[in-house]
Structure 1
């Protein structure tokens, strides 16, 4: 059994791809206002919002438990509306050696298609796939979509 894996999901939303991308690439700290039941805080620890190499710290709920994550922004592609985060500290690293998250929004039929990719390497075969994190990002996507379409 392989210790490396990847989970992906696609979510259709009504919000424009550029507006969705802008929140995750440049303003992730707004997510605690958008989806407070899932994200309790997002703080900048190093660098600048919206800049590759910046380090952000999340307080979030995962499967009903308060957890934390420190991530570095690995890549921002404004042309393809994609942002990649690499986990460098936090609860997920208790189970995974590597945990990367990429979110990409693509314009589609007046809205967008949001594609999430979770790439990970488990510390052992006993560790399950991070399906709870996939559900968390799905819920966050739906909440952000509702927020962005309310503002339109």
Structure 2
């Protein structure tokens, strides 16, 4: 869905949709290939949200803690609005705010939206 940004995702332990599972990502951010290993901390079906805690990888070179929360809020008439929350503690004051990573998340969400819309159109034509 977002092959120019996400190059691979591997399940190391657990299940794709279970808290406690460990997932590794390979991705390109700010023109560099990077990696992240995350633990799914929580899945809230009622709020349509998933919380990921980064435990290893490039982000840990800049941040003591880094948590991503993604929530899909259903829209009236179909579809959803996606909200990303980044919670972090910088290793030092020299570390910049992760605005470009938030923009990365927005672009990945748009790629996913386009993919899902194309799938829906293909199913409607079938």
Please report the TM-score for the alignment, with normalisation by the length of structure 1: 0.77
After TM superposition, what 4+ stretches of structure 1 lie above 6 angstroms from structure 2? none
Higher relative contact order (CA 8 A, sep 6+): 1
RMSD: 0.7
Q: Which has more radius of gyration?
A: 2
1:71 matched to 2:38? yes
1:92 matched to 2:81? no
In the other structure, the counterpart of 1:56 is 23
1:107 matched to 2:86? no
Which runs of structure 2 are paired with 1:22-33 in the superposition (5 Å)?
none
1:109 counterpart SS class: coil
- Unmatched 5+ stretches in structure 1: 1-33
Please report the TM-score for the alignment, with normalisation by the length of structure 2: 0.92
User: Deviations 1:111-139 (Å, cap 9, x if unpaired)?
Assistant: 21111000000000000000111011000
Compute the displacement of 1:109 (Å): 3.1
In 1, Cα distance between equivalents of 2:15 and 2:96: 34
